[in-house]
Structure 1
Amino acid sequence: MTLEQRRAWIRLVVAVPAYAAYLIVVLSQLGGRPLADADYTGPLLWTVGAAVLASIIGEIVVAALNPKASQVKDDRDKEIGRLGDQVGQPFVVIAAVAAMLMALADWAPFWIANVIYLGFVLSAVVGGVAKVVVYRAGVPEW
């Protein structure tokens, strides 16, 4: 397994539980209040920070468990990385446009922040899944 393939798996394993934890924390503390009134800033910042830290620790642990694994990126890794980014990046753009329109329409900051966070998560997950699938099935020829 190449360095980039390991990174794709680690990010997938981290992104989904981190977002799920965020949703659980925010939804559990509502207590009958409207969703837009939820205290989301702390949980959002903590889950994003924890996800970044978990990814870093995951890469360190995987590298320590297999120190002789290749750290080299070849042309195939670069092509797969580019393909995964092309598949995942539209979700960030869609989220940014949606957030801009929400801000222009004076939506609550809760919705704006959450659409951006969801865009980042979808980008990471869809892009990561694309990378893992291409590593398994091979790079498609266009």
Structure 2
Amino acid sequence: MTSEEKRSWIYAVVGAGVAAVYFATVLSQVPGADVTRIAYVRPMLIAIAAGIVLGILAGIAAAVFSPKDAGRTDERDRRINRRGEHAGFYVMSVAAIVPLALAMAEAAHFWIANTLYLAFVLATVASSIVKIVLYRRGF
């Protein structure tokens, strides 16, 4: 497994894991509550920061345990990365329609922010999955 494939696995697991914890924590407060009173900003910022820090730390750990592969990329890695990033872009472009529509409908900021965060998470996970599939099935 190349270092780039490991990085894709890390982004997929960390992105999905951190988002799952965030959404489980915040959305569990929604039933029977006024969403305008739910404190979501701080947990979202913590989730974003945790995702970044965990991704960096896991990338460093992967490089330490496989030093010969760390930082080595070839043309195949670059092409797979490009395809994965394109997929993530398309997912983000489509998913961003929901928060845009919510903003136009003057929905609560809670829903706009959370659907936008979900769009970013879906784009990251989709990009990583496409890269993993391309590594596993061949490119």
TM-score when normalising by structure 2 = 0.90
Distance 2:75 2:121 in 1: 27
The offset of 1:29, in angstroms, is 3.7
Q: Which residue of 2 aligns with 1:46?
A: 46
Q: Which residue of 2 aligns with 1:60?
A: 60
Distance 2:23 2:10 in 1: 20
Aligned to 2:28: 28
- 1:109 Cα deviation after fit: 0.8
Written as runs of structure 1 = structure 2, the 5 A alignment for 1:29-108 is: 29-30=29-30, 32-35=32-35, 37-108=37-108
CA-based RMSD = 1.7
47-56 or 70-79: bigger deviation: 70-79
Partner of 1:113: 113
- Which residue type is aligned with residue 118 of structure 1? L
Deviation at 1:5, TM superposition (A): 0.8
Other structure's SS at 1:72 match = coil
How many Å separate the matches in 2 of 1:70 and 1:11? 16
Gap regions ≥5 residues in structure 1: none
Q: Could you list the per-position Cα deviations for residues 37-85 of structure 1 after superposition, in whole angstroms to 9, with x for gaps in the alignment?
A: 4221111111111010000000111111122224222110111111111
Match in the other structure for 2:16: 16
Structure 2 letter corresponding to 1:109: H
Distance 1:105 1:28, change over 3 A: closer
Partners in 1 of 2:64 and 2:70 — Cα distance?
12
Q: Is the 8 A contact 1:92 1:119 kept in 2?
A: yes
Q: What is the number of residues matched between the two proteins? A: 139
User: Secondary structure of the residue that 2:96 maps to in structure 1?
Assistant: helix
Q: In 2, Cα distance between the equivalents of 1:29 and 1:99? A: 20
* Greater than 4 Å deviation, 4+ residue runs: none
TM-score, reference length from structure 1: 0.88
CA distance in 2, matches of 1:27, 1:100: 20
- Are the counterparts in 2 of residues 36 and 111 from structure 1 also a CA contact under 8 Å? no
